[in-house]
């Protein structure tokens, strides 16, 4: 087992299901159920978060490979096993999920119908997402990857906005269509390696011409999830129509699944194809940064503007991953964390306005800084982080990607850096429309400032934004070992002779 | 330790004034901010004095910031003479502006917010000047950019203030793209971004090439130009200058802070800081010289016809920054620093004096509606006169020493670019003296053109505003004379030490070798400029109107600031917004979403058609089955 004496990863993964079970057994009147359901969900998610922090404290950042590995026989005849493990790449993505679930639960005060079902779906989502990040077996990964769709589909479709059915189906069909391609790739790789263990798969060579096809399959699947341009159009609809807690999970956590997939499968298992497709990925990334930033600038709704800004940031992440440099990949990983926290903060801010009965149409907001100074200050912090202000989390990832990209190509670096201007443009437009100028309507003058529950969501997020921005080493040190190993393996597989020479000189 | 206090006291003040205000109250919040600046100024001067006495100390290492691969940046405070000089200047000038603001902003409803921003601004600038690596410099750089955005948009109910704030931030960011890529390229070339590592290896990379546009460029030229693009944004050089004049939307003390001690000086400081790299890039240096000299002249011409008291001084800042880049571009870095420090004093003085006038005139800023108030504002009048004389470069005021030295250096390099810089600089010296005395005369002298009710309320400012003015006036009067020996005179190499290394080719060593007429030219132009101003606005007041009639085209061209805003608006801003709408509606909604929509339509259409086959007639189904069976059978037989 592991050094804890109990399978900590499985416990973290499946503990939320206990919460779901408790929710199912609740009895009483509707109002009572709602309150209790919220409490049960919150307590469950906090216990899981505590376990996650314990996991972090026991994690050894010096090791590049999987830690806390759990293996149990499962479908033995097919060489598939239940394998769980965590390394420096997945550790913080798991923690991000664990951290944001309680925030999403806190943010769901506006959910009043089918409360029990909603929190069950949210906890189920937590289980599936953590399981997906912790899976060390491809089949297991695939199952969790697909299973994430179900609770999310329900969250959008049942508790969403006006066009929720359209958005939910679009989300479901886009992602499912992509995932089918991954299933085909999975079957091929399984036959090729004779196992679905991720470590085995990583070390099994694949012929060059097949790699390209497999890469395209992965691109279809992970590209949709990561909302790589032009596979991104499901995203604004889904983000826009999902209820705030759903949007938080979708934007902050689920969008990382695609980027994680690239890092876990596409890059290490298909080094030649990844190198072949590098220019394509750079192009897609740069287009995402520039084109989508322009689209964001034209938005008239706060939620959709943030959604598009999210797509633009995914472009930066994609560019970072495909630089195959330590700086670029760590920048991408850091950006994944940062973006998760920042985007959650922004959507919580949007939720604050919704909970006061306001819409999110930008032309009907304005002047809120006067009566809601605390809200204004926190929205400002997240917006600045989103536009990459040094001292906030958003800057570190961005500059690392720019630095990594410059090692490969000057123009990619320069074009990625233009995101700094465009990001500033749409975020400042957003800030002005929401916080500044005069009130567009007199009712806006009567909105109360933040309440205790809202502080409980926003302050931890803001503190994390600053922690990541001022002392990012706590996080980057965990990335160091696996990313260095990844980059080295990538270089070695492309140029076996040089890599050999490097080893001998050492 | 003193440096640490000097840098972090303003941060503490900002946090107290900004975050703790609900708990400690308005007065205590403002008091905390001002007190923190006093502490900072004392510590800042103390650390400079200690540096002068005991020699410079090693950098203060606080903690690691980023460490990924070799890309390592620390939070640390560099303590060489360049940093210490800037720390002392920034903390002292900023402290004076804080004190002044206590009086100027007394009627403001959200005063603690204002002080929190100002203290934060000072902190960011201090982090910038004490940076020991490019990334921390960038932190301070963006920090001042951010706070300037907040301060320009301080009165956020005003749409014009919001527009100006966003403009300032975005134009700065355009420059920052160059800076960020410059940092990345520096890392790529040197393998480090710490200053010591870069400066030590600069000479050895002078021959390295870098391929761009299919041509091989010397890599340090590319680095230098990228960094300078950053500096152009921050220091409002031509093409990226448009934000500076609009930045007047903020309260006047902010203009003093932005234009004198912080923000715009950052670009010049960065180029001086990076001088070991810039020195290896002769083409980039020529570029810097040309941009600097052109900006000086260009902004000077605009300053001559503006009517807003703050706008005139703003364009003069733009112009004076051009002088500083001119000095840096010809390799006379100490001279650039000298002018930077001198300018900080007299520009802060001018702005605060202008603020005092605006305060007295019930927030009127148009100099055409002033005049004849010298008697009512005697102290302000004297202070403004000191500032004007210093700016015009009249002996013995500060500007005389530094502006002369800049033009001497430009002439001494003895190259076409140097002569171009010199010529622009000399013409600008005349323009400068003209526009500042035009401002001075129209504001204070002649008959009053102000409405009666305004005139009745004209009053001298309170002591809390006048005292900082007096201190700054001493700076404007004495800083040139006192500092010139150490900064650029016989002792300059000993004073700057290792912080600015001048190669043998530097014009620093030949400042005094110019012909006598070259040395006297700027002063002569200054006096001429003042004489013309007196001629136009005292002796023959009809002349300026006649001239602007006669040369209407030129006048409108200058009044509209060479139409930069209009051109940018037509070429960049509006097309960008149109492109944004197009990308959204046509690109995303119609084109990209069109493909899946088309697929769904095809699927549902196909199913509608196929449904028609389901007739329910068993006979028909049986017949089709038979045909199918026959077909497959014949296929099987044929293939076999």
Task: Encode pLDDT of A339-359 as tens digits.
Answer: 999 999 999 999 888 888 777
d(CA B561, CA B299): 8
Q: Which helix (H) or strand (E) holds A119?
A: helix A115-134
- Choose among A406, A421, A424: nearest Cβ to B184: A406
- On chain A, the residues whose CB falls within 8 A of the CB of B576 are 294, 297
For tokens 């639960």, name the residue: A105
Hey, are the CB atoms on B181 and A476 less than 8 Å from each other? no
Local structure of B515: helix, strand or coil? coil
In Å, how far are B265, B408, B410, B414 from B418, measured between CA atoms?
A: 22, 10, 5, 6
Give B182 to chain A, closest Cα distance, Å.
10
- Choose among A294, A424, A432: nearest Cβ to B173: A424
Name, in order, each residue with C-beta under 8 angstroms of A256's C-beta and a sequence gap of 6 or more: A93, A96, A226, A336, A339, A340
Structure tokens at B71: 């890309």
Give A312 to chain B, closest Cα distance, Å.
14
To 10 degrees, the CA torsion angle through B321, B323, B324, B330? 150
How deeply is A374 buried, as exposed, middle or buried, from its count of CB atoms within 10 A (0-12, 13-18, 19+)? middle
Hey, are the CB atoms on B156 and A437 less than 8 Å from each other? yes
pLDDT tens, residue by residue, A243-261: 889 889 988 888 889 899 9
- On chain A, the residues whose CB falls within 8 A of the CB of B66 are 396, 399-400, 472-473, 476
CB contacts under 8 A, B 84-103 vs A, are: none
Contact B182, B247 (CB under 8 A): no
In Å, how far are A361, A368, A450, B300, B327 from A446, measured between CA atoms?
A: 18, 10, 13, 49, 55
pLDDT tens, residue by residue, B246-296: 888 888 888 888 888 778 889 999 999 998 898 888 899 999 999 999 999
Hey, are the CB atoms on B66 and A406 less than 8 Å from each other? no
d(CA B15, CA B13): 5
Higher pLDDT, A396 or A356: A396
Asked whether residue B517 carries a pLDDT value surpassing 90, the answer given is no
- Choose among B149, B176, B188: nearest Cβ to A420: B176
- Choose among B67, B162, B170: nearest Cβ to A436: B162
CB contacts under 8 A, A 288-307 vs B, are: 291, 294-299
Asked whether residue A297 carries a pLDDT value surpassing 80, the answer given is yes
Treating both helix axes as pointing N-terminal to C-terminal, what angle do A8-24 and A88-106 enclose, rounded to 10 degrees? 20
**Residues, chain B:** 640
Contact B310, B254 (CB under 8 A): no
Nearest residue of A to residue B584, measured between CA atoms: A295
Local structure of B130: helix, strand or coil? coil
Local structure of A179: helix, strand or coil? helix
- On chain B, the residues whose CB falls within 8 A of the CB of A384 are 146
Higher pLDDT, A27 or B286: B286
d(CA A468, CA A385): 10
d(CA A61, CA B223): 36
Mean pLDDT of B588-599: 76
Hey, are the CB atoms on B169 and A428 less than 8 Å from each other? yes
d(CA B168, CA B175): 11
Asked whether residue B39 carries a pLDDT value surpassing 90, the answer given is yes
Nearest residue of B to residue A407, measured between CA atoms: B188
Asked if B162 reaches chain A (Cβ–Cβ under 8 Å), the answer is yes
Nearest residue of A to residue B71, measured between CA atoms: A327
Asked if A403 reaches chain B (Cβ–Cβ under 8 Å), the answer is yes
How deeply is B27 buried, as exposed, middle or buried, from its count of CB atoms within 10 A (0-12, 13-18, 19+)? exposed
Q: Given this model, what pLDDT does residue A348 score?
A: 92
Mean pLDDT of B506-533: 84
DSSP letter (8 states) at residue A266: I
Asked whether residue B44 carries a pLDDT value surpassing 60, the answer given is yes
In Å, how far are A298, A319, A410, A458, B584 from A402, measured between CA atoms?
A: 26, 9, 9, 29, 26
Structure tokens at B295: 């900006």
Name, in order, each residue with C-beta under 8 angstroms of A477's C-beta and a sequence gap of 6 or more: A61, B67
Asked whether residue A503 carries a pLDDT value surpassing 80, the answer given is no
* pLDDT range class, residue A4, cuts 50, 70, 90: low
d(CA B58, CA B369): 55
Asked whether residue A216 carries a pLDDT value surpassing 60, the answer given is yes
Hey, are the CB atoms on B173 and A476 less than 8 Å from each other? no
CB contacts under 8 A, B 483-542 vs A, are: none
Hey, are the CB atoms on A402 and B166 less than 8 Å from each other? no
Q: Given this model, what pLDDT does residue A499 score?
A: 42
Q: What is the largest CA-CA distance in chain A?
A: 74
- Choose among B170, B173, B593: nearest Cβ to A233: B593
| Chain A contact probe: residue of B11, B26, B68 with most A CBs at under 10 A | B68
For tokens 């044929």, name the residue: B638
Asked whether residue A504 carries a pLDDT value surpassing 60, the answer given is no
Can you list the pairs that B98-102 forms with residues at least 24 positions away whose Cβ atoms lie under 8 Å? B98/B33, B98/B34, B98/B37, B99/B34, B99/B464, B99/B467, B99/B468, B100/B253, B100/B256, B100/B352, B100/B355, B100/B464, B100/B465, B100/B468, B100/B469, B101/B251, B101/B253, B102/B30, B102/B34, B102/B464
pLDDT tens, residue by residue, B188-246: 999 889 998 898 888 888 878 888 877 788 889 999 999 999 999 888 888 888 888 88
Nearest CA among B227, B134, B230, B183 for reference residue A406: B183
Nearest residue of A to residue B583, measured between CA atoms: A295
Give A131 to chain B, closest Cα distance, Å.
29
d(CA B421, CA B194): 32
- Choose among B139, B157, B185: nearest Cβ to A391: B139
- Choose among B67, B170, B584: nearest Cβ to A476: B67
Higher pLDDT, B300 or B611: B300
- Provide φ and ψ at A71, rounded to 5°: -130, 135
pLDDT tens, residue by residue, B332-348: 888 999 999 999 998 99
Asked whether residue A331 carries a pLDDT value surpassing 90, the answer given is yes
d(CA B631, CA B143): 78
- On chain A, the residues whose CB falls within 8 A of the CB of B581 are 298
pLDDT tens, residue by residue, B313-335: 989 999 999 999 999 998 888 89
Nearest CA among A57, A56, A64 for reference residue A480: A64
Contact B140, B10 (CB under 8 A): no
d(CA A236, CA A67): 37
For tokens 């499946």, name the residue: A14
pLDDT above 70 covers what percent of chain A? 97
Q: Given this model, what pLDDT does residue A50 score?
A: 92
- On chain A, the residues whose CB falls within 8 A of the CB of B579 are 294
Nearest CA among B96, B627, B524 for reference residue B352: B96
Asked whether residue A214 carries a pLDDT value surpassing 70, the answer given is yes
Treating both helix axes as pointing N-terminal to C-terminal, what angle do B111-129 and B264-273 enclose, rounded to 10 degrees? 10
- On chain A, the residues whose CB falls within 8 A of the CB of B184 are 399, 402-403, 405-406, 413
Domain parsing of chain B, residue ranges: 153-562, 563-592, 595-640
d(CA A181, CA B270): 52
- Name the pTM for this structure: 0.90
- On chain A, the residues whose CB falls within 8 A of the CB of B176 are 420-421
**Alpha helix segments (H runs only) across B304-332:** 309-329
Local structure of A65: helix, strand or coil? coil
Nearest residue of A to residue B580, measured between CA atoms: A294
- Choose among A390, A420, A437: nearest Cβ to B157: A437
Local structure of B168: helix, strand or coil? helix
* pLDDT range class, residue B597, cuts 50, 70, 90: confident
Structure tokens at A232: 């991104």
In Å, how far are A397, B113, B200, B425, B598 from B194, measured between CA atoms?
A: 19, 35, 10, 35, 55
Nearest CA among B237, B265, B247 for reference residue B140: B265
Least trusted range by pLDDT, from A113-122, A210-219, B156-165, B508-517: B508-517
Asked if B333 reaches chain A (Cβ–Cβ under 8 Å), the answer is no
Contact A310, A252 (CB under 8 A): no
* pLDDT range class, residue B121, cuts 50, 70, 90: very high
CB contacts under 8 A, A 316-355 vs B, are: 325-327, 330-331
Average pLDDT, chain A: 86
Hey, are the CB atoms on B135 and A399 less than 8 Å from each other? yes
Q: Given this model, what pLDDT does residue A329 score?
A: 92
Nearest CA among A279, A222, A287, A232 for reference residue A256: A222
Hey, are the CB atoms on A406 and B63 less than 8 Å from each other? no
d(CA A346, CA A111): 19
Higher pLDDT, A388 or B604: A388
CB contacts under 8 A, B 556-585 vs A, are: 576-577, 579-581, 583-585
Structure tokens at B294: 């052109």
How deeply is B620 buried, as exposed, middle or buried, from its count of CB atoms within 10 A (0-12, 13-18, 19+)? exposed
What does the DSSP assignment read for A158-177? HH--TTHHHHHHHHHHHHHH
Q: Given this model, what pLDDT does residue A319 score?
A: 93
Contact A189, A206 (CB under 8 A): yes
Q: Given this model, what pLDDT does residue A445 score?
A: 78
Instruction: For residue B179, count other CB atoms closer than 10 A to its CB.
Output: 29
Hey, are the CB atoms on B170 and A473 less than 8 Å from each other? no
d(CA A32, CA A36): 6
d(CA A137, CA A85): 9
For tokens 């830690």, name the residue: A67
Name, in order, each residue with C-beta under 8 angstroms of B329's C-beta and a sequence gap of 6 or more: B285, B286, B287, B288, B289, B290, B291, B292, B293, B417, B421
Q: Given this model, what pLDDT does residue A505 score?
A: 33
Q: What pairing do the DSSP bridges indicate for beta strands B215-218 and B71-77?
A: unpaired
Contact B102, B464 (CB under 8 A): yes
| Bond preceding residue A289 cis, omega within 30 of 0 | no
CB contacts under 8 A, B 102-161 vs A, are: 135, 138-139, 141-143, 146, 149, 153, 156-157, 159
Give B134 to chain A, closest Cα distance, Å.
12
Least trusted range by pLDDT, from A79-83, A87-91, B417-421: A79-83
Least trusted range by pLDDT, from B5-19, B119-133, B555-569: B555-569
Q: Given this model, what pLDDT does residue A496 score?
A: 58
Tally A–B CB contacts below 8 A: 145
Strand partners, B217: B210
Local structure of A2: helix, strand or coil? coil
DSSP letter (8 states) at residue B499: G
| Chain B contact probe: residue of A410, A416, A444 with most B CBs at under 10 A | A410
Mean pLDDT of B594-598: 77
Q: Which helix (H) or strand (E) holds B14?
A: helix B2-18
d(CA B332, CA B415): 14
Nearest residue of B to residue A427, measured between CA atoms: B166
Q: What pairing do the DSSP bridges indicate for beta strands B209-212 and A81-86?
A: unpaired
* pLDDT range class, residue A506, cuts 50, 70, 90: very low
Give A16 to chain B, closest Cα distance, Å.
35
Mean pLDDT of A12-21: 88
Give A58 to chain B, closest Cα distance, Å.
22
* pLDDT range class, residue B139, cuts 50, 70, 90: very high
Asked whether residue A209 carries a pLDDT value surpassing 90, the answer given is no
CA A430 vs. chain centroid, Å, equals: 23
- Provide φ and ψ at B413, rounded to 5°: -70, -20
Hey, are the CB atoms on A437 and B146 less than 8 Å from each other? no
Q: Given this model, what pLDDT does residue A46 score?
A: 92
Nearest residue of B to residue A326, measured between CA atoms: B69
Instruction: For residue A474, count other CB atoms closer than 10 A to its CB.
Output: 12
């Amino acid at each position: 087992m592991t050094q804890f004496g109990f399978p900590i990863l499985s416990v973290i993964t499946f503990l939320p299901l206990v919460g779901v079970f408790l929710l199912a057994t609740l009895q009483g009147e509707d109002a009572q159920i709602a309150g209790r359901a919220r409490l049960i969900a919150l307590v469950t998610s906090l216990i899981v978060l505590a376990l996650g922090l314990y996991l972090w404290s026991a994690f050894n950042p010096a090791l590049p490979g999987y830690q806390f590995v759990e293996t149990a026989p499962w479908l033995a005849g097919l060489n598939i096993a239940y394998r769980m493990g965590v390394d420096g790449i997945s550790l913080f993505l798991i923690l991000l999920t664990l951290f944001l679930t309680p925030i999403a639960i806190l943010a769901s005060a506006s959910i009043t119908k089918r409360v029990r079902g909603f929190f069950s779906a949210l906890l189920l989502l937590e289980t599936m997402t953590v399981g997906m990040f912790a899976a060390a077996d491809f089949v297991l990964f695939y199952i969790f990857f697909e299973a994430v769709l179900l609770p999310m589909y329900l969250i959008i479709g049942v508790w969403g906005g006006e066009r929720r059915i359209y958005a939910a189906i679009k989300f479901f069909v886009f992602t499912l269509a992509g995932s089918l391609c991954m299933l085909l790739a999975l079957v091929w790789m399984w036959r090729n390696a004779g196992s679905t263990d991720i470590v085995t798969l990583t070390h099994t060579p694949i012929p060059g011409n097949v790699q390209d096809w497999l890469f395209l399959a992965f691109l279809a699947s992970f590209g949709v999830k990561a909302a790589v341009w032009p596979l991104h159009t499901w995203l604004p609809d889904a983000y826009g129509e999902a209820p705030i807690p759903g949007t938080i999970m979708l934007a902050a956590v689920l969008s990382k699944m695609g980027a994680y997939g690239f890092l876990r499968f596409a890059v290490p298992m298909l080094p030649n194809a990844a190198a072949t497709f590098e220019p394509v990925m750079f192009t897609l990334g740069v287009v995402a940064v520039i084109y989508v930033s322009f689209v964001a600038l034209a938005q008239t709704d706060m939620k959709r503007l943030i959604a598009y800004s999210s797509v633009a940031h995914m472009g930066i992440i994609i560019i970072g991953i495909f630089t195959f440099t330590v700086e670029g990949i760590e920048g991408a990983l850091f950006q994944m964390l940062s973006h998760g926290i920042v985007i959650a903060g922004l959507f919580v801010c949007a939720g604050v306005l919704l909970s006061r009965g306001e819409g999110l149409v930008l032309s009907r907001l304005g002047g809120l800084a006067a009566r809601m100074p605390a809200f204004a200050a926190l929205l400002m912090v997240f917006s600045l982080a989103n536009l990459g202000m040094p001292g906030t989390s958003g800057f570190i990832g961005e500059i690392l990607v720019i630095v990594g990209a410059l090692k490969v190509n000057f123009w990619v670096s320069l074009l990625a850096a233009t995101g700094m201007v465009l990001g500033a443009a749409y975020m400042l437009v957003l800030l002005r429309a929401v916080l500044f100028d005069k009130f567009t309507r007199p009712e806006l003058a009567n909105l109360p400032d933040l309440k205790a529950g809202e502080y409980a969501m926003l302050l931890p997020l803001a503190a994390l934004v600053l922690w990541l921005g001022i002392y990012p080493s706590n996080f980057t040190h965990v990335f160091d070992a696996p990313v260095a190993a990844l980059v080295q393996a990538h270089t070695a597989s492309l140029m076996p002779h040089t890599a050999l020479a490097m080893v001998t000189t050492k | 330790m003193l440096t640490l206090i000097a840098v972090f006291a303003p941060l503490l003040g900002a946090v107290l004034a900004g975050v703790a205000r609900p708990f400690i109250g308005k007065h205590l919040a403002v008091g905390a901010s001002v007190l923190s600046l006093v502490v900072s100024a004392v510590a800042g001067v103390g650390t400079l004095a200690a540096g002068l006495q005991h020699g410079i100390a090693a950098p203060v290492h606080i903690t690691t910031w980023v460490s990924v691969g070799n890309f390592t940046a620390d939070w640390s405070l560099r303590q060489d003479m360049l940093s210490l000089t800037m720390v002392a200047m920034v903390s002292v000038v900023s402290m004076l502006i804080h004190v002044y603001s206590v009086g100027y902003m007394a009627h403001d409803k959200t005063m603690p917010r204002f002080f929190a921003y100002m203290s934060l601004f000072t902190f960011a600038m201090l982090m910038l000047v004490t940076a020991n690596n490019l990334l921390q410099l960038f932190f301070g750089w963006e920090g001042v950019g951010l706070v300037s955005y907040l301060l320009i948009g301080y009165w956020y109910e005003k749409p014009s203030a919001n527009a100006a704030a966003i403009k300032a931030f975005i134009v700065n960011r355009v420059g920052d793209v160059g800076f960020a890529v410059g940092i990345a390229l520096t890392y790529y070339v040197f393998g480090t971004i710490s200053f010591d590592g870069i400066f030590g290896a600069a000479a050895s990379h002078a021959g390295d090439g870098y391929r761009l546009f299919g041509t091989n460029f010397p890599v340090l030229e590319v680095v230098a130009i990228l960094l300078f693009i950053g500096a152009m944004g921050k220091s409002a050089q031509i093409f990226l200058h448009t934000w500076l004049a609009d930045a007047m939307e903020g309260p006047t003390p902010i203009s003093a802070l932005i234009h004198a001690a912080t923000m715009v000086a950052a670009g010049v400081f960065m180029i001086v800081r990076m001088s070991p790299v810039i020195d290896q890039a002769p083409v980039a240096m020529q570029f810097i010289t040309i941009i600097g000299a052109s900006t000086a002249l260009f902004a000077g011409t605009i300053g001559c016809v503006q009517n807003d008291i703050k706008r005139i001084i703003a364009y003069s800042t733009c112009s004076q920054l051009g002088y500083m880049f001119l000095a840096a571009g010809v390799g006379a870095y100490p001279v650039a620093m000298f002018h930077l420090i001198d300018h900080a004093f007299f520009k802060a003085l001018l702005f605060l004096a202008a603020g005092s006038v605006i305060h007295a005139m019930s927030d009127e800023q148009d100099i055409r509606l002033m005049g004849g108030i010298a008697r009512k504002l005697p102290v302000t009048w004297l202070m403004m006169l000191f500032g004007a004389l210093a700016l015009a470069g009249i002996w013995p005021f500060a500007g005389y020493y530094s502006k002369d030295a800049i033009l001497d250096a430009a002439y001494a390099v003895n190259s076409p670019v140097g002569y171009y810089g010199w010529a622009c600089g000399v013409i600008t010296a005349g323009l400068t003296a003209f526009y500042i005395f035009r401002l001075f005369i129209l504001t204070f002298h002649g008959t009053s053109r102000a409405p009666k009710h305004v005139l009745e309320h004209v009053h001298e400012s309170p002591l809390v505003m006048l005292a900082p003015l007096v201190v700054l006036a001493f700076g404007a009067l004495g800083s040139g004379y006192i500092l010139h020996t150490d900064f650029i005179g016989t002792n300059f190499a000993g004073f700057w030490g290792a912080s600015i290394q001048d190669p043998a080719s530097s014009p620093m060593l030949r400042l005094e070798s110019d012909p006598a007429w070259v040395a006297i030219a700027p002063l002569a132009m200054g006096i001429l400029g003042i004489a013309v101003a007196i001629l136009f606005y005292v002796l023959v007041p009809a002349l300026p109107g006649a001239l602007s009639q006669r040369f209407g085209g030129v006048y409108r061209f200058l009044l509209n600031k060479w139409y930069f805003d209009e051109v940018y608006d037509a070429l960049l801003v509006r097309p960008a917004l149109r492109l944004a709408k197009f990308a959204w509606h046509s690109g995303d909604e119609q084109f990209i979403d069109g493909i899946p929509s088309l697929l769904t339509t095809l699927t549902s259409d196909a199913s509608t058609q196929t449904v028609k086959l389901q007739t329910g007639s068993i006979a028909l189904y049986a017949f089709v089955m038979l045909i199918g069976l026959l077909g497959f059978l014949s296929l099987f037989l044929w293939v076999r």
